[in-house]
Structure 1
Amino acid sequence: MSVQSVSRILAVAFCLVSACTPQQEPDQEPQVRILELQVPANFPEPEKVMAGYPLSEEGVELGRKLFYDTRLSGSNTISCASCHQQQLAFTDGVALNKGAAGTPLLRHSPGLANLAWMNGTFWDGGAKNLESQAFGPITAPDEMNQNLQELVSELTAVPDYVASFRLIFQDEIKPAYIARALAQFQRTLISANSRYDKYVRQEPGGKMSELELKGLTLVQQKCGSCHAGDLFTDNGYHNNGLDSDFSNHSYEGIFQGRYRITHHPADVGKFKTPTLRNVLVTAPYMHDGRFATLEEVLRHYSQGIRASPTVAAAVMQGAEGVAGIPLSVEEKQAIIAFLETLTDYEFIQNEKFSSPFN
């Protein structure tokens, strides 16, 4: 980005802060409108975005269009939204979806929410940030199966895209800019208006029942080491006792979890902790979608833990380190009642996150 471009962006940011309207000269180039993420009062500060470019209203809107555009797939039939549907908190409702090859994928589609607070993406942390993450599904033969140069050619044939990329990145369309635009949109997918959030912030509509409050306490006591804070995830990687045998090295070690990335023995069987937010609409559960209901999930944690050298201490809460987290029937009911308060209906219905092509 040129010094002149940076100066223009800073000038716009100054006007936004001072609530003035910039007077554009007739021969002056259009300017992007800088966008600051609105951090919810009960959230920590988000992760720093990639250095070198700011969020902008135009960048977010471009990313939204790309997210829903089937041109991102080689067959022009699959978009990012095919596996990340807003009404399901940007999951897809199936254990293992099918991509371009027509065969089931090997991992469950994760939800997309509060990604600005995420450090590392994919179930094994295989990408450091949203920008690098985008290239995986777009180019993977089993997912979207798109050639990046062909994608550039297809988008360049659309005048509106050419103009948008020129405005936002002061350049022609390139793969890196496609990823950056997608990342800008995804960072605005903030879910923080559930009934629980309103309860914590003492806002109207935040009433919780005695059973739900009991469930909150149980989640904090028994699940909080991994599903931490108001993000309800520590963004870490843990072996939660789903399996005990990780000797399958096929598909580049995809069944071995974080180990396939780090090659540290301590990371065998570890997968990223998903948020509990919107969990009632994001079934099925786990990295492979093996559990269809929350009842099955809680049964696993209370009775189904499989021991292995890397299993997390957090799931070994029984007497003298016995596998599992002791939970009575009443406690399970309370936990599920609380989890329902984490459903953010504003998030899954927000038109700003929906398809611009409808």
Structure 2
Amino acid sequence: MQLYNKLSAEERAKLIDEAGKDRITISFYQYHKIENPQLFRDKLFLEWDQLEVLGRTYVSYEGINAQISVPSENFLSLKEQLDSISFLNGIRLNVAVEHDNKSFLKLKVKVRNKIVADGLNDETFDVTNKGVHLNAKEFNEMLANPNTVCVDMRNHYESEIGHFDGAITPDVDTFRDSLDIIEEDLKDNKEDKNLLMYCTGGIRCEKASAYYKHKGFKNVFQLEGGIIEYTRQVNAEGIENKFLGKNFVFDHRRAEKISDDVIANCHQCGKSCDSHTNCANEACHLLFIQCDECAEQMENTCSVECQEIIRLPFEKQKELRKGTHASNKIFKKGRSEKLKFQKGNTCS
């Protein structure tokens, strides 16, 4: 019985090309008490593997958080499988704005302590006492209210390439970092302002809204389904789009274009640009914004040092990587002294 992915990304990409099937990228989440996350995880992997599902899913005692892709022809079968699970019956599936058959190349279903790393002690407040959910039209109306403070609950590298017009975009590396900072910044407006929050698909706001109500905020609102569902409603119903730029996504696409606005710049030359890349030096792999010209000149690396490394023989590169761990660079996304025009850099 196979319970783990056994194919490399390259092997999977080849199979996707050979199959010639269009795939749909979707995401969903649900907070629900799961008694045996490992058993539930194994069940999902076995059933999804049969449906050719790929993607990244976290399961915990508090629920599930999934970002996956599935062949279009298997979408209804996946929906039936989810509906057969009581707490996922009728779950809203956020369908991607832009599709890419290779948005995911492996099926990973992992058991975690939490489905979102929020750093909160859930025993200290009522996580079910959430804020008021708003659809796209209601969100636009609340956004236009002068008594509203709109806050982006995502990280700096996400909001840098796209955010709602007039939103506060905290300069943070992680979701947990933003919670206390936002509370401190808005402490004088807990009772007299509308706190309006949004994130990619809605999951971060689910917990954050309950937390802020616990902290004394009286009027707490959140965008139902996040930016993904907002965009779907805008397109389907002809609603005015208030989102500027791209929506950052956590798969191989890296972003979905929501409007024609380009609000970011290349981290190397400062040119208007909103395309993320990972440094070609595997020992670095830093995520940063790079224009086509810099990508060609720098060979898809973030610095001269990394460019010199990728020119070395492969075996020499592997030798240099031994004993090193680059995750601190990877997850500091865009935070490097080598990037002259990174967000917040006074050189820009």
Give the alignment's TM-score, normalised by structure 2: 0.28
> Which structure has greater strand proportion?
2
Answer 1 or 2: higher relative contact order, Cα 8 Å, separation at least 6: 1
> Which structure has greater helix proportion?
1
